[in-house]
Amino acid sequence: MATPKKKLQGLVAATLTPMTENGEINFSIIGQYVDYLVKEQGVKNVFVNGTTGEGLSLSISERRQVAEEWVTQGRNKLDQVVIHVGALSLKESQELAQHAAEIGADGIAIIAPFFFKPWNKDVLINFLKEVAVAAPSLPFYYYHIPALTGVKIRAEELLDGIQDKIPSFQGLKFSDTDLLDFGQCVDQNHQRQFSFLFGVDEQLLSGLVMGATGAVGSTYNYLGKKTNQILEAFERKDFSSALKYQFCIQRFINFVVKLGFGVAQTKAIMTLVSGIPMGPPRLPLQKATREFTDRAAAKLKSLDFLPFAELRDGNLEACS
Ligand SMILES: CC(=O)N[C@H](C=O)[C@@H](O)[C@H](O)[C@H](O)CO
Ligand SMILES: CC(=O)C(=O)O
């Protein structure tokens, strides 16, 4: 049975996997990364080896080591370390799930297999269940990201009766813009203690309105503090402030999306904002261009999103 742990809530940073210029994982800065998230961004939960962490581009041995480093460095500092263990091979997923349990992670998450795809709910549940039983004591989260997996089985359908099949099921990370599906996940399961984690950072406020209990995202690495203002305003029912903060974040995300925004660019932005070198991504991703980084930096500065924005006169769009 799942341990009735403290519920995963609030912001969860989808961690980047720091790499050196020659493409090896730079484990040595993960400790610093933990401190940065906690102290500078007010973010105390992490989601490791997911999309942002290039989890599917790492070897199984690398994924184990990255997970271990986050758990070790996060001890007594982070509230929860959730490890993404999704893989195309059921065996690999099970191995990673079991490993997450052994090292003392707080939960596991998994995307749908995306090469041979499950075409209906029952097949997907069967796959998920086989992974969950490899770590029955760990809270289990389904990571719904249809745009990347191509598996479009609605989350609301998947959740219907899921605890009968997967007793450790604890929640959902919902990375899609279908608010009918998300809202119905919340509505139909409100009596259960699930975590409903919204995964589209630029639309977080609409997720909160639909009942999200928290959020997992890449931008919380460097906009955690700003995003916490949305959560706080929402909590005190100050919706006009919440919307103002959301619009402010949207201005930034909208700007970078138009330039071409993904994990490589997130690594460049995080390096810029935190000063911690995240390094290049791994192929097939390509390092962000100098032009991207310069333009993103200027935008961050004009929104007053840089910690060392000494050029206050440049902050024409600052939102707070
Ligand atoms: C596809 C993807 O990576 N989604 C991330 C997590 O779910 C988000 O955090 C986005 O990076 C973010 O919402 C910006 O679009
Ligand atoms: C964004 C997210 O949740 C991930 O990187 O997996």
The CATH number linked to 81 is 3.20.20.70
Judge whether residue 29 has pLDDT over 60: yes
Our count of domains for the chain comes to: 1
pLDDT band at 320 (very low <50, low <70, confident <90, very high): low
Output the pLDDT for position 263.
98
Residues with Cβ within 8 Å of 104's Cβ and at least 6 positions away in sequence, in order, are 71
pLDDT band at 1 (very low <50, low <70, confident <90, very high): very low
Residue type, 207: G
Of the candidates 36, 141, 142, 173, the residue annotated as catalytic is 173
Residue 151 lies in a domain: yes
Residue 201 lies in a domain: yes
Mean pLDDT of 129-136: 98
Residue 290 lies in a domain: no
The protein residue with its alpha carbon nearest to ligand 1, atom 8, reads 217
Task: Confirm or deny that 216 is annotated as ligand binding.
Answer: yes
Residue 219 lies in a domain: yes
175 lines ligand 1 (CB under 6 A): yes
Pairwise CA distance, residues 145 & 148, whole Å: 6
How many CB atoms lie under 10 A from the CB of residue 314? 13
Judge whether residue 3 has pLDDT over 60: no
Judge whether residue 2 has pLDDT over 80: no
Residue 121 lies in a domain: yes
Please confirm whether the linkage preceding 136 is cis (ω < 30° from 0): no
Residues framing ligand 2 (Cβ under 6 A): 14, 47, 50-52, 199, 216-218
Residue 242 lies in a domain: no
Task: Confirm or deny that 52 is annotated as ligand binding.
Answer: yes
Owning domain of residue 131: 10-237
69 lines ligand 1 (CB under 6 A): no
Judge whether residue 73 has pLDDT over 50: yes
Q: How high is the ipTM of this complex?
A: 0.95
Distance of alpha carbon 141 from the chain centroid: 12
Residue 250 lies in a domain: no
Judge whether residue 311 has pLDDT over 70: no
If one residue of 182, 196, 201 were mutated to test the ligand 1 pocket, choosing by the most ligand atoms within 8 A of its CB, it would be 201
Predicted model pTM: 0.96
Backbone angles phi, psi at 280, to 5 degrees: -80, 165
Closest ligand to the CA of 270 = 1
Mean pLDDT of 163-183: 98
Residue 144 lies in a domain: yes
pLDDT digits (tens, 9 = 90+) for 182-218: 999 999 998 899 999 999 999 999 999 999 999 999 9
| Interval between CA 9 and ligand 2 midpoint (Å) | 15
pLDDT digits (tens, 9 = 90+) for 245-266: 999 999 999 999 999 999 999 9
Mean pLDDT of 34-53: 98
Of the candidates 143, 220, 222, 245, the residue annotated as catalytic is 143
173 is catalytic: yes
54 lines ligand 1 (CB under 6 A): no
Mean pLDDT of 301-307: 90
Q: Please name which of 204, 184, 185 lies closest in space to residue 245, comparing C-alpha atoms.
A: 204
